[in-house]
Amino acid sequence: MLMPRQQVPTLQFPTINGSDYDLVKQAPDNFTLIVFYRGLHCPICANYLRELGRLLPEFNKRGVDVVAVSSDQRDRAQRMFEKLKSKQFLLGYNLNLETAKNWGLYISTSKGMTSIGLEEPALFSEPGIFLVRPDQTLFYANIQTMPFARPMFTELLSAIDFTLEHNYPARGQYIGAV
C-alpha cells in the first residue's frame, strides 16, 4: 500500500512526443501530478483530460508538472492525444500493469464494446490521481474502481494553493495500531 510521506514506486513509460518519461528524473518546483486514465475507450476520461488540458497553465503557475498515462498502445494513445487538442499535454502510453498495481490502481477486464463503439483492452487500469513531491514522496492519492465521480481539477488547484500557503503536510501516514 502506498503511504503518504513515503517513496512512491518507480514510473517509466514512453510519451506521445517521443521522449521517455521517468518520474525520478522530474524536477518540479512543488509537485508532479500524475493522472492515470483508463484509455481511449473511455469517453469520461477524454472529457476529464480535456479539462486538465484547459487548466494546465494554472498547474504550471503553481509549480506542478503534469503527466497523464494509460496502458493503451501508442496508436490508441495518439488518437486520445488528438482528441485532447492540447499540444502542451504530456501523454504517456504502454503503462505496465504490474506498475499500475504497484501504484495501487485497480485492474479491470474488458466488457467488450463501449458506448462510443470502441473495444476495451483485455486488461486496463482504472483511474488514479497522485501528487508527488520533488523528493519522490507521496503527498496525495485518489484511486478509483470506476470512471465516475472523479476529483475536480479546480478543487485540486485550491487544495494545492492551501497546501503551499500553509505548508500543509501530507496526511494519512499513520500505520500503527488503532
* Over residues 26-55, mean pLDDT: 97
* Over residues 55-80, mean pLDDT: 98
Question: Cell numbers 485497480 label which residue?
Answer: 106
Q: What's the grid cell of residue 95?
A: 503503462
Q: What is the pLDDT of residues 135-148, one digit of tens each?
A: 999 999 999 999 99
Indicate the average pLDDT of the chain: 96
Q: What is the pLDDT of residues 9-33, one digit of tens each?
A: 999 999 999 999 999 999 999 999 9
pLDDT score of 86: 81
The CATH homologous superfamily of the domain defined by 12-163: Glutaredoxin (3.40.30.10)
pLDDT score of 39: 96
Give the global pTM: 0.96
pLDDT score of 19: 96
Q: What is the pLDDT of residues 79-132, one digit of tens each?
A: 999 999 887 889 999 999 999 999 999 999 998 878 888 889 999 999 999 999
- Helix/strand/coil percentages in the chain, nearest 5: 30, 25, 45
Q: What's the grid cell of residue 162?
A: 492551501
* Over residues 147-166, mean pLDDT: 97
Distances (CA, A) of 94 to 14, 55, 70, 107, 130: 7, 25, 7, 14, 18
Residues 6 or more apart from 144 whose CB is under 8 A from it? Answer: 106, 126, 127, 128, 150
